[in-house]
Copies of this chain bind each other. A is one copy, B any other.
Amino acid sequence: MAKAKQAQKWQRDPEGMRLRILEAAKQEFSAHGLAGARVDRIAAKAGANKRMLYYHVGNKDELYLAVLEGAYDKIRSEERGLDLEHLDPPEAIRRLIEFTWNYFLRNPEFLSLLQTENLARAKHLKKSTKVKSMHSPFVEMIRTVVRRGVDSGDFQVAVDPVQLYISIAGLCFFYLSNSATLSVIFGRDLLDKKAKDERLAHMVGLVLAALTGQSVALIEIAKAPKSRAAVAQTV
């Protein structure tokens, strides 16, 4: 048995163990939801023992909350790196949409976790002390962009930054988190490369057109020849 050798690899490594547990838990919770998640599977996936979860993190609920907090922590910290301040307003909005879209694409477990937590009506999140304090300065970042856009004349109207953010997140989130049922309903694969490119173009066009009033590059549906066209068309 190579067991001995393997075991050696991470014997007595509390930090690493905790991380592996959280990672495995993230996978499990996002794949099966809170009730569907199996503690033993998490343990197995983490190369650990069930008892370890309780030792290092706590019971199932605490484990779940830890995963959730970690997920929020991650996106908030990436958001902080966006520095929309130095872009001209329309470009800043475009970048915000692209970031959100790509983040959701890169982190599908994040979407699942949010869905799971919302099905529970945020019961667990409400208990979190950490998350509340994260209240990212993100909203202010957006508010500033909007204000600058209005001042410069790029935007025709001042939008509530929270509404705008929810709209952008919603456009991205719904498409991705519901792609499974939508694909069945509409009979198209919404996750192939072409479809995703089109979606991004559509969203950027929609939001920018609404803000600037220029339907330039609005919605690209005027499909071109064979290429993914998807491009817009100035009207």
A contacts with B: majority SS? helix
A122 lies within 8 A of chain B by Cβ: yes
Contacting chain B: which of A1-9, A16-24, A218-226? A218-226
Q: Name the distance in Å between A126's Cβ and chain B's nearest Cβ.
A: 6
Q: Name the distance in Å between A175's Cβ and chain B's nearest Cβ.
A: 6
Determine the chain B residues whose CB is within 8 A of the CB of A119 once the complex forms: 32-33, 112, 115-116
Determine the chain B residues whose CB is within 8 A of the CB of A134 once the complex forms: 185
Q: Name the distance in Å between A8's Cβ and chain B's nearest Cβ.
A: 37
Tell me if A160 and B122 are in contact (CB < 8 A).
no
Interface residue from B160, B175, B185 paired with A135 (Cβ < 8 Å): B185
Determine the chain B residues whose CB is within 8 A of the CB of A230 once the complex forms: 160
Chain A residues 131-181 with CB under 8 Å of chain B are: 131-132, 134-135, 139, 150, 155-160, 162-164, 166-167, 169-171, 173-175, 177-181
Determine the chain B residues whose CB is within 8 A of the CB of A66 once the complex forms: none
A117 lies within 8 A of chain B by Cβ: yes
Interface residues on A, range: 35 or more
A48 lies within 8 A of chain B by Cβ: no
Q: Name the distance in Å between A197's Cβ and chain B's nearest Cβ.
A: 12
Chain A residues 32-58 with CB under 8 Å of chain B are: 32-36
Cα A155 to Cα B187 with chains together (Å): 27
A206 lies within 8 A of chain B by Cβ: yes
Determine the chain B residues whose CB is within 8 A of the CB of A235 once the complex forms: 150, 155-158
A183 lies within 8 A of chain B by Cβ: yes
A87 lies within 8 A of chain B by Cβ: no
Q: Offer 30 A-B interface pairs, CB within 8 angstroms, sorted by A.
A: A33-B35, A33-B36, A112-B119, A118-B180, A122-B183, A125-B180, A125-B181, A135-B187, A156-B235, A157-B235, A158-B222, A158-B232, A158-B235, A159-B202, A159-B218, A160-B219, A160-B232, A162-B186, A162-B188, A163-B198, A167-B202, A167-B203, A170-B171, A171-B171, A174-B174, A206-B206, A206-B210, A209-B209, A210-B210, A210-B219
